[in-house]
Chain A
Amino acid sequence: MEKLTKVEFSNLEKILFPKLEITKAQVIEYYIKIAPKMLNFLANRPLVVTRFPDGIDQNGFYGKDAPQGTPSWVKTVKFYSGTAERDINYILCNDLDTLIWLANIAAIEIHVPFSKADSREKPDLMFFDVDPEPPATFKNAVKVALQLKETLDKVGLESYVKTSGKKGLHVIVPIASGHTFKETRTFVHKIGQQLAKTQELVVSEFKETKKPGKVFVDYLQNSHGRTMASPYSLRAVPDATVSTPLAWSEVKKGIKPTEFNISSVVKREKDPWKKIFDNKQKLTV
């Protein structure tokens, strides 16, 4: 067999998504197929992964540290963690082999921070987490995301949207270098407050996050330690959904997050976020 990858596959027939009987082989295949669209979002970002070696019905483990047995060719970067009070060896996924290796260790969910390893304090993405609190639903999140887009349009910022893969939507604004997390956090908070004034559904303050039936525009994630599910990351939910970049035109009534899953997303020809990193925008705080 030709050597197309450095990764030694293991336990390919292991079922990782029991409801749909999706095997590890299928998960790896998904990540191989999505790699051309996905790798750009991973490059040079210290990753946090959630691994489910025994399938998503069993406890997974959330890992910042590169696990024991990480091959020497996998790039890592060391940062001191205040909470863990030690250095953590973060995985960097800058190539296809690393992505395949992650899939092979059953790292179903791959999370990325909003800044790169070489400029950790300086974000290049501004993140709005549109998170509905039950009984608010995805439908409510869609409504709020569209209002959010309108608001951002008004201040001259182009935004990008993706499903979280769970119940919410993520809205991203790529930003020019030089801004700090404090600035992005403040900016997102202000936009949230603005929305909350006119929209009954929206709450903008952390203490209100658990208000039933409300949609919180979470600004707190804009910090160097925080992450979001990477664009095109699978989610550890029974339907094997994918956090999927969408065109704003797709975000409308009737859209369901489960439409975007391990089998459908690779068939999407569109790559609505393709030019996201060419569109670095300055914030006027």
Chain B
Amino acid sequence: MNMEKEKKVPRRPIWTGSLAIGLVNVPVKVYPMIYDRGISFRFLHKTDGHPLKYQKVCTKDNKVIPWEEVAKGYEVTKNEYVIFDKEELEAVKPESDKRIRLDKFVDYFAVDPVYFDRSYVLMPDKSADAYGLLLTAFEKKGKAGVGRITLRTKEYPALVHAYKNALVLTTLRYAYDVVDPRGFEELKKLEEPEKAELDLAVKIVTDLSGEFDITEYEDNYKQKVEELIKKKLKGQTVTPEKPVQEEVKGLMAALKDTLKQLEKQ
């Protein structure tokens, strides 16, 4: 078992195409950059340790439904659905555009992190020169390009910027997917702070100011669970064993009895 998964570079790109700026195309490969390295558990049956699986069950009669019989439904009003076949939705899927179109350049810090969705690394695809040129220009200007990318079936707004000597693409959330906090009533009741209090608060913020270092933060829960796992491995582990059903137990009892009788014969 290897709990300390090494941070490896992903082997295969999830997308290939080109960065398009005006008339210039820079061929790139897109690699995943974000991994969820949290602890994952499987659900087991408490009494015998076997993994559990999910099944799609019809709410009408609790029958298990095979994939062939599954359709997608859009709930129009409560309990009323418009049903779609796989083919119908397939037909309107966005065409996979092989270009990341950059429309304009903005200050990187002008984009608030609330819009950040997921980051990907861009690598040059056979034309390292064009890639290098673009990277240097980004670094020099401290700017990020804003544009669009289609990944699988969804079109995302995206941001391309220089990060650790590479071009990184971050998909963004649409404005309507992000809550505007001004909608909360509580904010409307906020009062102007007293000057003395404000000075104190500003002082605290100033005193605690420092460099940002993500490695200062660790997942304590994850570490504790990993310790538990190590302990369990030495002592009691839940390993699924070949089930000894009730029936077999009954047969074994009968068998013992018969063997005893046969011995006497």
Q: A96: CB under 8 A from chain B?
A: yes
Q: B250: CB under 8 A from chain A?
A: yes
Q: Is the CB of B251 within 8 A of A25?
A: yes
Interface bin, chain A: 10 to 19
Of the stretches B67-75, B83-91, B202-210, B252-260, the one at the interface is B252-260
Among the listed B244, B245, B251, B265, which residue makes an inter-chain contact with A32, where contact means beta carbons less than 8 Å apart?
B251
Mask for A1-43, Cβ within 8 A of B = 1, else 0? Answer: 1101100010011000000000101001100110110010000
Measured CA separation A100–B257 after assembly (Å): 14
Q: Is the CB of B251 within 8 A of A9?
A: yes
Q: Is the CB of A12 within 8 A of B254?
A: no
Residues of B within 8 A of A100 (CB): 255
Residues of B within 8 A of A25 (CB): 247-248, 250-251
Q: Is the CB of B254 within 8 A of A29?
A: yes
Q: B114: CB under 8 A from chain A?
A: no
Measured CA separation A32–B250 after assembly (Å): 11
**B contacts with A, residue count (CB < 8 A):** 16
Residues of A within 8 A of B245 (CB): 12-13
Name the distance in Å between A210's Cβ and chain B's nearest Cβ.
Answer: 42
Residues of A within 8 A of B77 (CB): none
Measured CA separation A28–B244 after assembly (Å): 16
Measured CA separation A100–B251 after assembly (Å): 10
Label chain B's interface by main secondary structure: helix
Measured CA separation A33–B261 after assembly (Å): 10
Q: Is the CB of A28 within 8 A of B251?
A: yes
Measured CA separation A12–B250 after assembly (Å): 11
Name the distance in Å between B160's Cβ and chain A's nearest Cβ.
Answer: 60
Q: B262: CB under 8 A from chain A?
A: yes
Name the distance in Å between A82's Cβ and chain B's nearest Cβ.
Answer: 37
From 31 to 72 in chain A, residues with beta carbon under 8 angstroms from any chain B beta carbon are 32-33, 35-36, 39
Measured CA separation A28–B261 after assembly (Å): 17
Interface hub of B244, B251, B265 (most chain A Cβ within 10 A): B251
Instruction: Assess A36 versus B250: contact at CB under 8 Å? Given A1-B244, A5-B255.
Output: no
Label chain A's interface by main secondary structure: helix
Instruction: Assess A9 versus B248: contact at CB under 8 Å? Given A4-B255, A33-B254, A33-B258.
Output: yes
Mask for B138-171, Cβ within 8 A of A = 1, else 0? Answer: 0000000000000000000000000000000000
Measured CA separation A9–B261 after assembly (Å): 22
Measured CA separation A13–B245 after assembly (Å): 10
Name the distance in Å between B29's Cβ and chain A's nearest Cβ.
Answer: 52
Among the listed A29, A35, A96, which residue makes an inter-chain contact with B250, where contact means beta carbons less than 8 Å apart?
A29
Measured CA separation A224–B155 after assembly (Å): 82
Among the listed B247, B248, B257, which residue makes an inter-chain contact with A33, where contact means beta carbons less than 8 Å apart?
B257
Measured CA separation A100–B247 after assembly (Å): 14
**Nearest A residue (CB) for B252:** A4
Instruction: Assess A36 versus B255: contact at CB under 8 Å? Given A1-B244, A12-B248, A25-B250.
Output: no
Among the listed A4, A12, A23, A28, which residue makes an inter-chain contact with B259, where contact means beta carbons less than 8 Å apart?
A4
Q: Is the CB of A32 within 8 A of B258?
A: yes
Measured CA separation A19–B204 after assembly (Å): 82
Measured CA separation A96–B257 after assembly (Å): 12
Q: Is the CB of B256 within 8 A of A4?
A: yes
From 211 to 265 in chain B, residues with beta carbon under 8 angstroms from any chain A beta carbon are 244-245, 247-248, 250-252, 254-259, 261-262, 265
Residues of A within 8 A of B255 (CB): 4-5, 32, 100
**Nearest B residue (CB) for A36:** B261
Mask for B9-28, Cβ within 8 A of A = 1, else 0? Answer: 00000000000000000000
Name the distance in Å between A205's Cβ and chain B's nearest Cβ.
Answer: 42
Residues of A within 8 A of B262 (CB): 35-36, 39, 96
Residues of A within 8 A of B257 (CB): 33
Name the distance in Å between B259's Cβ and chain A's nearest Cβ.
Answer: 7
From 185 to 209 in chain B, residues with beta carbon under 8 angstroms from any chain A beta carbon are none
Measured CA separation A35–B250 after assembly (Å): 16
Q: Which 4 A-B pairs have the closest CB atoms?
A: A25-B247, A12-B247, A36-B261, A32-B254
Beyond A25-B248, A33-B258, 11 additional contacts (C-beta under 8 Å) are: A1-B252, A9-B247, A9-B251, A12-B248, A23-B247, A28-B251, A29-B251, A32-B254, A33-B257, A36-B258, A36-B261
8 pairs from A and B in contact (CB 8 Å cutoff):
A4-B252, A4-B259, A9-B247, A25-B247, A32-B254, A33-B258, A39-B262, A96-B258
- Interface residues of chain A, those whose CB is within 8 Å of chain B, are 1-2, 4-5, 9, 12-13, 23, 25, 28-29, 32-33, 35-36, 39, 96, 100
